[in-house]
A and B are shown apart, each in its own frame.
Chain A
Amino acid sequence: MFENVSRRNFLQGSAVLAAGLGLAGCSGDGGGDASSDGSTIKVGILGPHTGDVANYGIACRNGAQLYFDQLNADGGINGKQVEYLVEDEQGDPTQAVTAYNLLVEQGVVGIVGDVTTGPTTAVAQQSVNDNMPCVTPSATAAEIVTYGDNTFRACVTDPEQGRIMAAFANEQGYKNVGTLYLKGDDYNEGVNNAFVEEAQALGITITTEQSYSAGDVDFNSQLTTIIATNPDAILAPNYYEDDGLIVTQARQQGYTGVILGVDGWSGVADYASAEDLQNCYYCCAFSSANTEGLAAQFTADYEEAYGETPTNFCALGYDAAMVLAGGIAAAEEAGLEAGSDEYLQAVIDGIASGSVEGVTGTIAYDGTGDPVKSSLVLTFAEDGSEEVFETIDASA
């Protein structure tokens, strides 16, 4: 039978073998036990660790891992060590659902994740059916927490950030504000629309709303239009690469006024000069420049563990893990059997009624999955480093 195996036959055979191995591998991975055993508590960390948005996922993962490692070093929850299972979803909703199912099969009692909006929505819709507690560090779209009671977030929503900046603008006495945002992205549009609505309610005139498309690098025409309306401030609620260019080009056009941003600005210092960044303000949950309390401690711990300065996402990942651990602690105290429906419900109730002192501020939930928490408004020092301008307390 094997006397003359041609290359074709060989390759066909290998293909079939590869398919078989693939299937076998798939089945091998899938079979986790259905619930945590007595000595450890299993939690999942889900996010994009490869692919286009990997930097956010890795930052959140590092933050969450740091929290669980510290928790374990302190004796864990109720004397049990926390075992975290990390799954990658590449920023793809399909893979997020698959990875979520994998985590559930492995018997997790809660998940830190997902990270970006699309996959998180997919996971939120799935996890309602299992009543699985999920705490997303950073997915900001409003509707994520509306599918069920089981999904929470550690960050404030896009519209909330818009409102915070509108209130800030009002407080600073800016009367005319122009905006420049990326069209076709829910984050940028969400912030912009909420800002415009809130600002108008506060009596601020929105002189013009300009938009650009993904990939644009020249904002001069929009900036000319905006500057022609003679604004007190310009809102640029975008991600840092674009914002850096916007700031630089606005300054080149001779605009010296205020430029406002939101947490997408985190990291903008690499994209604009220190001189140009003067008179820029943005709101953010966390800054490594914050020298107060827990945030400073976290920055030091993170730098020791990973050798780099933590970003906003690292801090949110850390806090999301803390929120979840708080809920699990409540369930453990009640002495429920790990992995049962009552246990999961107890974790959810624990998160909803609890309050944790996170590195991004005190996080409590007021009957929804949205946190009530404070925000920082950051600005830039003469040398371009970030500094805390003020802390805006939670608006109930």
Chain B
Amino acid sequence: MEEELMAKRRPIISMGGRGGAQDGKRRTLPMPVRYAINALLVLVVLVVGELMVDGGAITRYQTSVLQQVGVYIIMAVSLNIATGYLGQLPLGHAGFMSVGAYGCAIFVMHLSEALGIGARDIVAGGPMVALVVFAGVVFGGICAAVAGVIIGIPALRLKGDYLAIITLAFAEIIRVVMLNIDDVLGFELTRGAAGLTGIPSYSNFLNVFLAVAVVCFLVHTMMKSRHGRAILAIRDNEIAAEATGVNTTYYKTLAFVVSAFFAGVAGGLYAGCVGVLQPANFGFMQSIEILVMVVLGGMGSMLGSVLSATVLTILPEALRAFSDYRMIAYAVVLVLVMIFRPQGLLGSYDFSLSRVIERVMNRDFPWGKGRGGDAEKDAEAEGVSADAGR
């Protein structure tokens, strides 16, 4: 909707001599075309990627790294909803990830047993397996969302540091519950400290990156809807938002729960990548790592989250050769970015393919006759227009 408004507004702005269109009217792409272009690109990337994985052009090691990249992209993008868009600082994202991971893994294990699907069949795939995995991942997301509601309602009465601490505490509670719930229930569910093992490896390149595309699309559309604007309004000025009739409690909880839901989805996929879940893997440091991805990429920028999740997941692997020094290099990168670029690598800038295409259509290039700077600023002012198709 915002895009449409922009499209309508643009001709008026461009009257001032901006843009290269001869008739003074800026040429734009209609919305269905924009979605079609992005959907097509996603499809191409997925098909080409899958063919490369199948054909061995991307090796197994690289595939396993890419799967982690996918999982952490979803984690970062989902945390970005609460951090970048809602403007809060939750420190318990790993808690939601663990709820989703356990929920999804237990669901898939039990359902596939009930349906008589063996671990090998799951690896082999098939429509039935796809359905079970899809249901499992969504179930994991729902579990995390329920945890998000339970935590969000009391926690979001607080702000800033207080919220950070209370979410941190809740994530620890989740971890301790995972450790001890079996004793309370009297039967095996999470298997405590020994960890949940024997999870079939149902995650693969295709379903992880399909999930990445769907999550990015859903977050993008949500942020451009009425609800998204309400959330941004709360970030910019909560009192003003409330004064204009935004139900701040509702929207804060909504953003928090949606954020938890997608973290649960990522957790579900993570469980399928690793095959073993131990509560100790979802500690405080995991939450911090995800927050680092969001802050480094730029709070409020989806492209930033995607990029920094990718770089920060690949970096330790790429630096494997330097073994002992890789953690130092990682730390140095973080310190440098925070000194020279405190708002994150991309700030709140977001990439829109459609915008680029439109600019090309209008022959409005950043280097064209010194208008570059203006166009750039204009693009940045558009704020959230994260492009789902990316």
Contacts and interface: CB of A to CB of B under 8 A. Distances in A.
Interface of A: 1, 7, 11-12, 15, 18-19, 21-23, 25-27, 29-31, 49-50, 87-88, 92-95, 97-98, 101-102, 104-105, 117-119, 121-122, 125-126, 129, 141, 143, 147, 184-186, 189-190
Nearest to B59: A30
Interface of B: 59-65, 68, 123, 179-180, 192-195, 197-199, 201, 270, 273-276, 278, 280-281, 307, 310-311, 314-321, 323-324, 327, 340-341, 345-346, 367
Contacts of B199: 125
A1 B275 CA distance: 50
A93 B61 contact: no
Nearest to B68: A94
Contact of B311 (A7, A18, A184): A18
Contacts of A95: 316
A382 to B, nearest CB: 38
Main secondary structure of the interface of B (DSSP, over half): helix
A88 B179 CA distance: 27
A121 B277 CA distance: 10
Given A11-B345, A118-B281, A126-B201, A98 B276 contact: no
A95 B346 CA distance: 28
A126 B180 CA distance: 27
A184 B274 contact: no
B112 to A, nearest CB: 15
A125 B65 CA distance: 18
B345 A101 contact: no
A93 B276 contact: yes
Contacts of B61: 29-30, 98, 101-102, 104-105
Main secondary structure of the interface of A (DSSP, over half): helix
Given A104-B61, A143-B198, 20 more contacts: A11-B341, A19-B311, A21-B318, A25-B314, A26-B318, A27-B62, A30-B59, A49-B324, A50-B327, A93-B276, A95-B316, A98-B317, A101-B60, A101-B63, A101-B64, A102-B320, A122-B276, A147-B198, A186-B194, A190-B194
Contacts of B317: 25-26, 29, 98
A50 B324 contact: yes
Given A88-B323, A92-B281, A184-B193, A125 B345 contact: no
B314 A26 contact: yes
A97 B273 contact: yes
A93 B278 CA distance: 9
A118 B194 CA distance: 8
Given A50-B324, A184-B180, A26 B65 contact: yes
Given A118-B280, A121-B195, A185-B193, A29 B321 contact: yes
A26 B281 CA distance: 24
B192 A98 contact: no
Contacts of B192: 184, 186
B278 A118 contact: yes
B191 to A, nearest CB: 9
B307 A19 contact: yes
Nearest first, the 10 A-B pairs at minimum CB distance are: A25-B318, A186-B194, A101-B61, A22-B314, A122-B276, A125-B275, A102-B61, A186-B193, A30-B59, A101-B60
Contacts of B276: 93, 118-119, 121-122, 125
B369 to A, nearest CB: 12
B273 A94 contact: yes
Contacts of A185: 193
Contacts of B195: 117-118, 121, 186
A186 B197 CA distance: 13
Contacts of A92: 281
15 contacts: A22-B311, A22-B314, A23-B314, A30-B59, A30-B62, A88-B320, A93-B276, A97-B64, A98-B61, A98-B64, A117-B195, A121-B197, A125-B198, A184-B179, A184-B180
Contact of A97 (B179, B274, B281): B274
Contacts of B270: 94
Contacts of B62: 26-27, 30
Nearest to B278: A118
B39 to A, nearest CB: 24
